[in-house]
Amino acid sequence: MTMTHTKERLVAVLSVLLLLPGLYFVSANLLKYGLGVDALTQPLEYFYLDASRARLFNLLSPLVLLGSLGLAGVLSLLPVLKVSFARAGSEVTLTASLKTHATNLLLAGLSLGLLAFLFIYVISENFGLF
């Protein structure tokens, strides 16, 4: 195994680990509010039993969820996305190329999908759209 493959594998494992909090949170809430199964949300209830823990959880959870999902997406795209700029006179050319590594693209897509789900949830919750 070459050093490049080792780095790519490490990035993929790190991306999976960063996706876990968001995947757990979204899955738990989909199960609870979509199917009425609250097995995954019960461990989260610990944070809401005490007012100070609830405040801390409400402050940190968006940072952890959005930060980890965003970082997972960026890390997944780093090995496969190449962006270059070229300048010829007054013309600037931007070129982007994407390698087709299924694992990286799947992880980046999952990260983007979870971020989109959380964004739609925030919009619908705050503006009562759904």
Closest C-alpha to 80, from 96, 94, 62: 96
Task: Say whether pLDDT at 4 is over 80.
Answer: no
Which amino acid belongs to residue 121?
Y
> Mean pLDDT lowest for which of 16-20, 90-94, 99-103, 116-120?
99-103
Confidence at residue 41, expressed as pLDDT on a 0 to 100 scale: 86
Quote the tokens at residue 81: 């996305």
Task: Say whether pLDDT at 29 is over 90.
Answer: no
Span 108-128, pLDDT tens digits: 999 999 999 999 888 887 787
Structural domain that includes position 58: 3-127
- Counting the structural domains of the chain, the total is 1
CB 108 within 8 A of CB 77: yes
What pTM does this model have? 0.81
